[in-house]
Amino acid sequence: MKQHKIPRVYLRQFGYHYNNQWKISVLQQCETFVRQKSIESFLAETNIFDVESNVHDTPRLFEEFNCDIENNYNNIISDLDTQGKLSK
What are the average pLDDT values for consecutive 10-residue runs of the chain, which has 88 residues?
74 89 91 90 73 70 74 84 85
The pLDDT, as a whole number, for residue 65 is: 74
Residue 74 CA to residue 80 CA, distance in Å, equals 10
Domain shared by 22 and 1, yes or no: yes
The pLDDT, as a whole number, for residue 76 is: 83
Identify the domain containing residue 65 by its residue range: 49-88
What pTM does this model have?
Answer: 0.54
Q: Furthest-apart CA pair in the chain: how many Å?
A: 47
Count of domains in the chain?
2
Domain shared by 1 and 35, yes or no: yes
The pLDDT, as a whole number, for residue 85 is: 85
